[in-house]
């Protein structure tokens, strides 16, 4: 089955700096790669996603890149703000959706 | 947008009792629903995948007789934790998908189960 690895587990940045979170996946059949933001005790919220036929996607301060050959994808957040502080999960899906271990992002004002 | 409702949001029960959690897709038909379990400060662990009208597919290590999943309609899936033990205490969250693989998931709000 699919195995998703995510790094780093924790990330602390100053407000205004960029944050990068990286994930790798094992199943070459996976074709959909979403990123979720989860605040404590809340449901995960989809922030951006990318499909396997696209290499990069951007939505305002958030971008995702995908390298199918290397089986890795990354989340980039620019101009970080304190409200970006949360746990971020990557996921990979062919039929089932498997999640990475999560990255706790802290943005210091 | 697609809305998934999950109830109850919080339940406290005694050891040995059973607890049922409901997951409903309110404005779309969910061909597939997923049940995840999340321990504090950890990731979402897939427990099982259910398709309407068929038996759920359980992940390795998940006891199907303990975690009963019923996906009786295109808008409702239930998870029943049978004979609950304190180690079953966790955050359970469902998600629903409209189409086949490669479609985004919509999450319920989660259920915090505490077994005394």
Angle (CA) B54 B60 B66, round 5°: 65
Question: What pLDDT, on a 0 to 100 scale, did the predictor assign at position A4?
Answer: 95
Q: What is the pLDDT of residue A45?
A: 93
Query: Which one of B42, B49, B112 has the shortest CB-CB distance to A96?
Result: B49
- DSSP class of B86: G
Q: What is the DSSP string of B23-60?
A: EEESSS--SEEEEEEE-TTS-EEEEEEEETTSPPEEPT
**Between residues B99 and A99, which one has the greater pLDDT?**
A99
Share of chain B above pLDDT 90, in %: 71
pLDDT at B14: 96
**Which residues, in sequence order, are CB contacts of B61 under 8 Å at separation 6+?**
none
pLDDT at A95: 80
pLDDT of residue B57: 92
Give the pLDDT band (50/70/90) at residue B71. Answer: confident
CB atoms B104 and A89 under 8 Å: no
d(CA A21, CA A35): 10
- Mean pLDDT (chain B) is 91
Test the A interface: residue of B62, B92, B101, B110 with most A CBs within 10 Å: B101
Residue B96 has pLDDT above 70, yes or no: yes
Of all residues in chain B, what percent carry a pLDDT higher than 70? 96
CB A23 within 8 A of CB A72: yes
| Residue B52: band (very low, low, confident or very high) from pLDDT cuts 50, 70, 90 | confident
Across residues B36-57, what is the average pLDDT? 89
pLDDT at B51: 85
Is A32 within 8 Å of chain B by CB?
A: yes
Is B14 within 8 Å of chain A by CB? no
pLDDT for B64 equals: 92
Do residues A23 and A100 touch, judged by C-beta distance below 8 A? yes
Per-residue pLDDT at A109 exceeds 70: yes
Judged by CB atoms closer than 8 Å, whether chains meet at B104 and A49 is answered as: yes
Which residues of chain A have a CB within 8 Å of the CB of B93?
Answer: 43-44
Confidence at A1, pLDDT banded by 50, 70, 90: confident
Closest CA to A84 of A4, A20, A8: A20
């Amino acid at each position: 089955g699919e195995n998703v690895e995510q790094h780093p587990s924790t990330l602390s940045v100053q407000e205004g700096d960029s944050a990068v979170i990286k994930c790798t996946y094992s199943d070459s059949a996976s074709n959909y790669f979403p990123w979720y933001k989860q605040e404590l005790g809340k449901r995960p919220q989809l922030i951006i996603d990318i499909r396997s036929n696209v290499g990069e996607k951007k939505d305002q301060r958030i971008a995702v890149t995908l390298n199918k050959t290397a089986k890795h994808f990354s989340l980039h957040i620019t101009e970080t703000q304190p409200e970006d502080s949360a746990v971020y999960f990557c996921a990979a899906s062919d039929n089932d959706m498997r999640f990475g271990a999560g990255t706790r992002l802290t943005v210091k004002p | 947008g697609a809305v998934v409702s999950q109830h109850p949001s919080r339940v406290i029960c005694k050891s040995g009792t059973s607890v049922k959690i409901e997951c409903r897709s309110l404005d779309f038909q969910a061909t597939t629903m997923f049940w995840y379990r999340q321990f504090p400060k950890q990731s979402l662990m897939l427990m099982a995948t259910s398709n309407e009208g068929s038996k759920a597919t359980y992940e390795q290590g998940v006891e199907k007789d303990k975690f009963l999943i019923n996906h009786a309609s295109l808008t409702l899936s239930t998870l029943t934790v049978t004979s609950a033990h304190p180690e079953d205490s966790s955050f359970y969250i469902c998600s629903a998908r409209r189409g086949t693989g490669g479609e985004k998931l919509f999450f319920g709000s989660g259920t915090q189960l505490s077994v005394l």
